[in-house]
């Protein structure tokens, strides 16, 4: 995400919470950690934070919202509904293939696939105890969706740990210009 867009998004977040006064250092801290993500994900996370949180989020909380979106795991009730719909629609064999045979079911998220695989598709289809299956699914799905969320957030972790290198565009020696301050309207290039 570009610096200017990141700064504006953080300012929008600060303006949504009464009493929050963001300094240039605060904005810079948030911007550095949000820049590895795409603009749509950051803006959606900020909208979620504004509409769902009672107080201004920490950087960790905001990154958690971004990672949750990127993981894209449906909530547990929708995931279970997807499994039940697939059981009714395809039964024990899977998706019929033209010319004969069956293909595996395509799930909306890998966490659902992991849980169905661990519980066993045939066992789910043949089960007479839907309540017990649902309870078991809920426990397994919570773990699987957290694992997928963690793996998505770890993709950006190296960039976040190292942090970007700030450099003034067109400068041969950035140190000769002085430190970059976000309040200045200088053209900036970020190198990773």
Q: Where are the domains of the chain?
A: 3-71+156-191, 76-147
Q: Is the pLDDT of residue 185 over 60?
A: no
> In the structure, what pLDDT confidence band is assigned to residue 85 with cuts at 50, 70 and 90?
very high
Mean pLDDT of the chain: 78
Q: What percentage of the chain exceeds 70 in pLDDT?
A: 76
> In the structure, what pLDDT confidence band is assigned to residue 74 with cuts at 50, 70 and 90?
confident
Q: Name which residue leads in pLDDT, 164 or 135.
A: 135
Range of weakest confidence among 45-49, 157-161, 180-184: 180-184
- The b/e string for 54-66 (b: 16+ C-beta within 10 A; e otherwise) is eebbeeeebbbbb
Q: Is the pLDDT of residue 98 over 50?
A: yes
Average pLDDT on 131-160 reads 78
User: Is residue 92 within 8 Å of 126, Cβ to Cβ?
Assistant: yes
Average pLDDT on 52-72 reads 85
User: Is residue 66 within 8 Å of 41, Cβ to Cβ?
Assistant: yes
Q: Is the pLDDT of residue 22 over 60?
A: yes
Nearest Cα neighbor of 58 from 70, 45, 69 is 45
Count the alpha carbons within 13 Å of 128 in the hemisphere toward its beta carbon.
Answer: 0
């Amino acid at each position: 995400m570009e610096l200017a867009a990141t700064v504006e998004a953080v300012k929008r977040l600060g303006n949504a919470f009464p009493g929050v006064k963001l300094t240039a250092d605060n904005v810079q801290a948030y911007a550095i950690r949000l820049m590895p993500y795409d603009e749509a994900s950051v803006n959606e996370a900020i909208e979620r934070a504004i509409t769902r949180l009672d107080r201004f989020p920490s950087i960790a909380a905001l990154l958690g919202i971004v990672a949750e979106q990127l993981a894209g795991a449906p909530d547990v009730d929708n995931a279970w509904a997807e499994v039940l719909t697939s059981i009714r629609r395809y039964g024990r064999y899977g998706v019929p293939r033209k010319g004969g045979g069956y293909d595996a079911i395509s799930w909306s998220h890998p966490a659902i696939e992991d849980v169905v695989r661990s519980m066993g598709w045939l066992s789910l289809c043949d089960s007479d105890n839907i309540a017990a299956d649902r309870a078991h699914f809920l426990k397994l799905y919570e773990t699987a969706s957290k694992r997928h969320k963690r793996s998505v957030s770890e993709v950006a972790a190296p960039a976040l740990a190292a942090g970007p290198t700030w450099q003034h565009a067109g400068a041969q020696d950035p140190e000769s210009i002085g430190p970059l301050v976000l309040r200045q309207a200088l053209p900036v290039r970020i190198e990773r």
